[in-house]
């Protein structure tokens, strides 16, 4: 056998990583096979030795983007006091850095409206990504807060609502022309999201 065992798998992973970047900064329609392969240091002809179609690549790259964004958004959060973690997470998500670097960030906000017109497979992938991010929020929640909630179903509702606000706020902040207004959107959603998550504690009898 020519080439070492993992060689082809490594290349495949490089293509996926390249696509995960380009997808988030250029969108699905804007991400051509040739561009992806070039960005991975290859020529476009070799693409179909790794994937059956562009759709296959988009699926794999979207999943990779979700994992990548999750890693970056939670990185180093263990070092922060439990009570403050969620606020930090929200602050990172709705930050100017995140807004200005879509290729490193959340693919839900970057590809949401494009994927809402996707096929069954794409929408399933999107759903998996959303569930993963919501359950990530879950894990960031300090024990005290979890206890303050009446049930996990109520948590899930709240997290979904907060996640919607975060995804929507980031997307709107990117789509808006005026930078001041864009900053304003980030600030407004950041505050409201934190407030919304902390309210059960304030209203309850913990502490």
146 vs 77, 108, 115, 141, CA distance in Å?
A: 18, 25, 32, 7
The binder of 45, among DNA, its own copies, none, by C-beta within 5 to 8 A per type, is DNA
Contact assessment for residue 179 and residue 117, using Cβ atoms and an 8 Å cutoff: no
The binder of 185, among DNA, its own copies, none, by C-beta within 5 to 8 A per type, is its own copies
Considering only 88, 158, 200, 201, the residue that binds its own copies (CB under 8 A) is 158
Complex with its own copies: residue 78 or 180, whichever CB lies closer? 180
The binder of 171, among its own copies, DNA, none, by C-beta within 5 to 8 A per type, is its own copies
Complex with its own copies: residue 30 or 46, whichever CB lies closer? 30
Q: Dihedral, CA atoms, 45, 51, 57, 59, nearest 10 degrees? A: 170
Complex with its own copies: residue 7 or 199, whichever CB lies closer? 199
The binder of 2, among its own copies, DNA, none, by C-beta within 5 to 8 A per type, is DNA
Considering only 77, 80, 87, 176, the residue that binds its own copies (CB under 8 A) is 176
Complex with DNA: residue 31 or 189, whichever CB lies closer? 31
**Residues in contact with its own copies, shown as a per-residue x/- string from 24 to 43 under the rule CB under 8 A:** -xxx-xx-------------
Determine, following the binding rule CB under 8 A, whether residue 126 of this chain makes contact with its own copies.
Answer: yes
The binder of 22, among DNA, its own copies, none, by C-beta within 5 to 8 A per type, is none
Which residues lie near its own copies (CB under 8 A)?
Answer: 25-27, 29-30, 102, 108-118, 120, 123-124, 126-127, 130-131, 156-158, 160-169, 171-172, 174-178, 181, 184-185, 187-189, 191-193, 196, 199
């Amino acid at each position: 056998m020519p080439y070492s065992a993992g060689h082809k798998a490594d290349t495949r992973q490089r293509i996926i990583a390249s696509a995960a970047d380009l997808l988030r900064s250029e969108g699905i329609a804007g991400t051509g096979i040739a561009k992806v392969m070039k960005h991975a240091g290859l020529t476009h002809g070799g693409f179909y030795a790794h994937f059956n179609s562009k759709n296959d690549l988009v699926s794999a790259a979207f999943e990779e983007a979700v994992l990548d964004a999750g890693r970056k958004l939670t990185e180093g959060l263990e070092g922060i006091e439990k009570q403050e973690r969620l606020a930090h997470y929200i602050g990172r998500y709705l930050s100017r850095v995140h807004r200005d670097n879509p290729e490193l960030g959340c693919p839900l906000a970057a590809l949401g409206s494009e994927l809402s017109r996707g096929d069954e497979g794409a929408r399933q992938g999107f759903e998996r990504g959303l569930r993963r991010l919501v359950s990530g929020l879950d894990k960031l929640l300090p024990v005290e807060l979890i206890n303050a909630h009446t049930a996990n179903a109520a948590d899930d509702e709240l997290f979904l609502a907060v996640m919607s606000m975060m995804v929507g706020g980031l997307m709107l902040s990117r789509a808006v022309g005026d930078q001041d207004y864009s900053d304003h959107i980030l600030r407004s959603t950041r505050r409201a999201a934190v407030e919304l998550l902390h309210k059960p504690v304030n209203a309850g009898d913990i502490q």
